[in-house]
Amino acid sequence: MSLMLVVTVLGWVGALAGLVAYAMVSRGRWSADSMAFQGTNMLAAGTLLTVAAANGIWPSAASNLAAILIGVNAVYTVVRARKRAAKEAAAEVPVLTVVEDVTPVQVPDHVPAGLADRMPAAQPAVGYRAYAEAA
């Protein structure tokens, strides 16, 4: 197997990878900021860069190098945005606090005097408990 045959096969793999990436984004299966799309595009550009350089087609090699650099920048931007979003999501964890109704216990009129003295009228009673998100 000659080196040029390997380069030619590599070129076809790169061309196919580029078409797959384009088709997946066009059909809505991948988003433009997905790692699958960016990785496939960079793989395609890398293989096509190799083929163009091996054949001395420098304008094509330069454009594929530019495509790789654009892909690297896009991956960096996506990773940075995901880290920022994860950090913000972790910081925005809602904290729940207990809110209680602390109305003092009222001694009803029908309770005998001896029993009313033993009731904890000074202690607040919890009428209900609710949970509120802290601001």
Query: Using H for helix, E for strand and C for coil, what is the string for 67-135?
Result: HHHHHHHHHHHHHHHHHHHHHHHHHCCCCEEEEECCCECCCCCCCCHHHHHHCCCCCECCCCEEEEECC
Residues 25 and 48 in one domain: yes
Residues 29 and 62 in one domain: yes
Residues 108 and 86 in one domain: no
Residues 13 and 29 in one domain: yes
Length of the chain: 135
- In which band, very low, low, confident or very high, does the pLDDT at 129 lie, cut at 50, 70 and 90? low
Residues 45 and 25 in one domain: yes
pTM: 0.64
Local structure of 55: helix, strand or coil: coil
Domain span at 129? 96-133
Residues 79 and 106 in one domain: no
Q: What is the tens place of the pLDDT at every residue in 50-100?
A: 999 999 999 999 999 999 999 999 999 999 999 998 888 877 766 666 656
